[in-house]
Chain A
Amino acid sequence: MKTSLGTSLVAHTVILAWALVSISAPASFEVAPVEALPVDIVPVESITQIQQGDKKAPMTEKPSPKKTEKQNVVENAENAGENDVDLKNPPTPVKKPTTTETAAAPPKNEKPLPNPTTENNDVKEIAKEETAPKPVETAALPIPKPEITPPTPKPEPPKPEAPKPEPQAQKVEETPLPTTAPVPAARPRPEPPKQEEAKPAEKPPEKKTDTAHAEKPSDKKVADKKQETAKSSSSKQSDFNAEDIASLLNKQEAAGGGAKRSQQMASLGGKKNTGGSTLSQSEMDALKGQIQNNWSVIAGVDGGKGMIITVTMKLDPSGAIVGRPEVTSSGGNESARRMLEGSAIRAVMRSSPFKNLPADKYDAWSEVVVNFDPSELL
């Protein structure tokens, strides 16, 4: 026994020593560097049946567009947003007020261009051209100038002074002038009596015009003066403010979005609903039941085994069948198929109009396919 025990001990020691040397450290596994690929499982419905919501929001059970601050309801609004008018463009964040370089009012000109004046004071301009009494005015218009200049240069200097007193006199008598014409008052008055006499003698043509428009000259003059004052005032103060006008015109922000309100937090969805509604099981059962009640299977028809009759019908929003339902069938023998097709159509027609269909899911039941399986009933 002693020898065997010694042998055993020696053998164990040898084996253990060999094990320590040879299998001391098992080679560690080589781990290949694998990049993790994120995988999302996206249901097809999220692409094919988009509900109105927010594109960047997380998915929730019920899609809803971004919560709006205003909650007053705008009728028939389709696009979510804060606007009062349902616009189609998406709501964009309000831009910070930036210093926009708008064209400032035109610099003060002693001689304003004709264009702005014609726009603002059309009538006055025309009236003035008819008379064409002043060199200042005609100078602005190049074409009329050469025509009129030959006669006018000499008599003009006295003229402006000559007619003015008349209107002054007439003004006082005939028309109470607006207070906006104080200029003539400042002009020298002592002279008129002298020139009044001289003027008629020198200038008959000039007078003619004056006499032809016996009463008008005063108006024209007033208009002239008015225009002058208007011009001077516009050139001096430039009360034209483009921004004010723009703000008055732009009562709606163009990028303000629609007017549909939302009370819920935003959730994943698209801009619009794209036919996403589906009938629930109970609604489907209700539809089935209505047809089932009206389906009387003809007793004693052979060959109905394995037959499937498919009726495709279109419904209008009230639930009534539009047109004639389409019937196709397969399986069974032909005579039985014909009989059962007839019974299926009759069942469908008799149950029209269908009731208790949800109006808001009309897109889901506008076209209904009914499968009849007569094998269970025969």
Chain B
Amino acid sequence: MEHADLAAAANSVSLISLFMQAGLIVKLVMIGLMGASVWTWAIVIDKYMNFKKAKRQFDQFEQVFWSGQSLEELYRTLSDRQNTGLAAIFVSAMREWKKSFERGARSPIGLQMRIDRAMDVTMARENEHYEARLGSLATIGSAGPFIGLFGTVVGIMTSFQAIAGSKSTNLAVVAPGIAEALLATAIGLIAAIPAVMAYNKFTADAGKLSSRMEGFADEFSAILSRQIDEKLQPRQAAQ
């Protein structure tokens, strides 16, 4: 069968014929790599949209937050929605604050700790959301060339076996088999290069968002701590 393929290959070296001539393993490798490429680009598009949206939301929220609006009012408007990013952190902190005051918190230190914890948890969840699927980008980026190389090696091996069978070293016989095998590496590289680039870019973006959230959490924690002090002072004085 491979002999026949080689003989036919002498004439056609187009991409589709190269793919059709390839052996089963090489075909599987090529299909897998094409799927990886599709997945990579899907992630890239998804992440790009997500990060753009998240950035816009961060900007909007910060604008609203520092506009001097009452935090109670802001909480009331936001608590009904599903929030992400800074808004989610703000809502989780306010929720904890509210619960503590409704039940009459005794220790300001305990309250502060609880609010920080709540914000940390929310922040971790948000970070996880931002960094989701970046791992698969990294995997494709690093493993793609190797998978392609594996396909090439297998393709060249079978091609050489076929050449040995055909007992001809004519370049017209040798070349198509090797070209077909090299196609696997090419597809691997096509999938891996955007994956690596996207992984680097999105990790950096996620890091930026994460640091921005941390900064906001710290600031908000400081505000709340001041508020706690102000609110608890009269009580202690009264006692």
Contacts and interface: CB of A to CB of B under 8 A. Distances in A.
Nearest to B41: A8
Interface stretch (B7-15, B218-226, B228-236): B7-15
Contacts of B34: 12
B14 A20 contact: yes
- Interface class of chain A by DSSP: helix
B164 interface: no
Contact of B42 (A8, A19, A20): A8
Interface stretch (B43-51, B71-79, B101-109, B120-128): B43-51
B16 A24 contact: yes
B42 A7 contact: yes
Interface size class of B (residues with CB under 8 A): 10 to 19
B14 A8 contact: no
10 contacts: A1-B46, A8-B39, A8-B41, A8-B42, A8-B45, A12-B37, A12-B41, A23-B15, A24-B16, A25-B14
A11 B41 contact: yes
A4 interface: yes
B43 A4 contact: yes
B25 to A, nearest CB: 21
Given A7-B42, A8-B40, 16 more contacts: A4-B45, A4-B46, A5-B38, A5-B42, A5-B46, A7-B45, A8-B38, A8-B41, A9-B38, A9-B42, A11-B41, A12-B38, A12-B41, A20-B16, A24-B16, A26-B13
B233 to A, nearest CB: 50
Contacts of B39: 5, 8
Contacts of B16: 20, 24
A4 to B, nearest CB: 4
Nearest to A1: B46
Interface in A1-43: 1, 4-5, 7-9, 11-12, 19-20, 23-26
Interface residues of A, number: 14
A188 B61 CA distance: 177
A7 B45 CA distance: 8
A20 B13 CA distance: 11
A24 B19 CA distance: 11
Nearest to A6: B42
Contact of A24 (B14, B40, B41): B14
Contacts of A20: 14-16
Contacts of A7: 41-42, 45
Contacts of B42: 1, 4-5, 7-9
Contacts of A11: 41
A7 B40 CA distance: 12
Contact of B49 (A4, A19, A24): A4
Contacts of B43: 4
A31 to B, nearest CB: 11
A19 to B, nearest CB: 6
Contacts of B44: 4, 8
A8 to B, nearest CB: 4
Nearest to B179: A26
Interface in B30-68: 34, 37-46, 49
A24 B45 contact: no
Contacts of B14: 20, 24-25
Contacts of A5: 38-39, 42, 46
B160 to A, nearest CB: 23
A19 B187 CA distance: 13
Contacts of A26: 13
Contacts of A4: 42-46, 49
A16 to B, nearest CB: 8
Contacts of B41: 7-8, 11-12
A11 B45 CA distance: 11
A25 to B, nearest CB: 4
Interface in B115-154: none
Interface string B191-204: 00000000000000
A362 to B, nearest CB: 56
Nearest to B12: A25
A47 to B, nearest CB: 39
A24 B37 CA distance: 20
Nearest to B172: A28
Contacts of B38: 5, 8-9, 12
A10 B49 CA distance: 17
A369 B41 CA distance: 82
Contacts of B15: 19-20, 23-24
A28 to B, nearest CB: 8
A13 to B, nearest CB: 9
A25 B34 CA distance: 21
A111 B37 CA distance: 124
Interface in A96-117: none
Contacts of A25: 12-14
A20 B12 CA distance: 13
A1 to B, nearest CB: 5
Interface string B171-187: 00000000000000000
B217 to A, nearest CB: 27
A7 to B, nearest CB: 5
Interface in A223-266: none
A12 B40 CA distance: 11
A163 B210 CA distance: 168
A26 B12 CA distance: 10
A9 B46 CA distance: 13
Interface string A187-217: 0000000000000000000000000000000
Contacts of A19: 15
